[in-house]
Amino acid sequence: MSEAFMRNGVQIDDTFAEAFPMKATRIVITAHNLTWARHAAASATGLATSVIGCGCEAGIERELAPTETPDGRPGLSVLLFAMSGKELAKQVERRVGQCVLTCPTTAVYAGITEGEAIALGKNLRFFGDGWQMSKVIDGVRYWRVPVMDGEFVAQETTAVVKGVGGGNLLLLCTDTDSALAVAEAAVLAMKTLPNVIMPFPGGVVRSGSKVGSKYAALSASTNDAFCPSLYGLVAGSELTPQTRCVMEIVIDGLTEADVGAAMRVGMEAGMALGAAKGLLRISAGNYGGKLGPFHFHLHKLLDGGARP
């Protein structure tokens, strides 16, 4: 086990989370009311926890007031991440076409303006079967597609920028109740920050993975060093008999600083609960620096703010 220090009875490992470059975009979904904007956003970000099996990682960033949206209606901002711009473009078009175009009263706009342009409504307009119309406002093209509740408005393109994926925290706790409470507090703190998402269900993943497997067909398998049921059975376990539940939080962000800031506030939220609430230790997952160029050292984040 690496050198560590203690805060509020919680051991903070002297280790780092290893993250990697991704491509990212933000889209803005509006609707007649927030309920329907949320339905569309939730659907569009479904099955988007990991690029390993989903093609992209996506999540709702935050709610938007009518004063913050292009059409003056309530909405949500959604962030999507993929390993390439080509894959991201495919995922955006598929998810907007199946989950936003179909949802009552919605419209969709670019949430990022600077970067490489990919299609947003550019190809979806053909659903209008020739009845679609375009309008250019301040140099930006929008498409109006007739649908059964009126029309679907979509900005022609959105922009792709560089992003960072795979920031993470491991929360080692005494039991399930404690681990859930700590993880929920950490995710809630992270959600107050812009430019980040936690793509797993509720922001939390219980099936942390390691690279490789005894089965040749699998590129990843369960992180046995952090599985309480395997304590005493596997060599190199990271746990103690007191550690009965581990939760992981994975963070994607538009910049390295955004991911570092989210990790810091997540750790601070966990430490505020402390050992008295069942949090024994905070660690992070890495692959010895071989997976990605972004290394988020836990001690540095706590000592130096949001700097990686």
Domains of the chain: which residue ranges? 4-19+163-304, 23-161
CB atoms within 10 A of CB 2: 10
Beta strands in the chain (DSSP E): 4-7, 10-13, 16-30, 57-64, 75-82, 107-110, 116-119, 133-137, 140-147, 150-155, 157-173, 196-197, 209-211, 220-222, 245-253, 279-283, 294-297
Give the pLDDT confidence score for residue 4 in this predicted structure.
64
* Topology at the third CATH level for domain 4-19+163-304: Alpha-Beta Plaits (3.30.70)
CATH number assigned to the domain with residue range 23-161, chosen from the 4 options 3.30.70.520, 3.90.1150.10, 3.90.1170.50, 3.40.50.300: 3.30.70.520
Contacts of 173 (CB under 8 A, 6+ apart): 179, 182, 243, 244, 245, 246, 247, 278, 279, 280
> Token digits for 38?
């949320």
Give the pLDDT confidence score for residue 203 in this predicted structure.
98
Give the pLDDT confidence score for residue 1 in this predicted structure.
42
Give the pLDDT confidence score for residue 120 in this predicted structure.
98
**Secondary structure (3-state) at 171:** strand
- Cα 27 off chain centre by: 14
pLDDT values of the chain reduced to their tens digit, one per residue, 308 residues = 445 689 999 999 999 999 999 999 999 999 999 999 999 999 999 999 999 999 999 999 999 999 999 999 999 999 999 999 999 999 999 999 999 999 999 999 999 999 999 999 999 999 999 999 999 999 999 999 999 999 999 999 999 999 999 999 999 999 999 999 999 999 999 999 999 999 999 999 999 999 899 999 998 999 999 999 999 999 999 999 999 999 999 999 999 999 999 999 999 999 999 999 999 999 999 988 888 999 999 999 999 754 44
Give the pLDDT confidence score for residue 257 in this predicted structure.
98
Q: What are 90-115's pLDDT values in tens digits?
A: 999 999 999 999 999 999 999 999 99
Give the pLDDT confidence score for residue 3 in this predicted structure.
59
Give the pLDDT confidence score for residue 307 in this predicted structure.
41
Give the pLDDT confidence score for residue 308 in this predicted structure.
40
Amino acid at 193: L
221 neighbors 212 (Cβ within 8 angstroms): yes
CB atoms within 10 A of CB 114: 6
Q: What is the pTM for the complete model shown?
A: 0.95
Distance CA 72, CA 74 (A): 7
Same fold, 4-19+163-304 and 23-161: yes
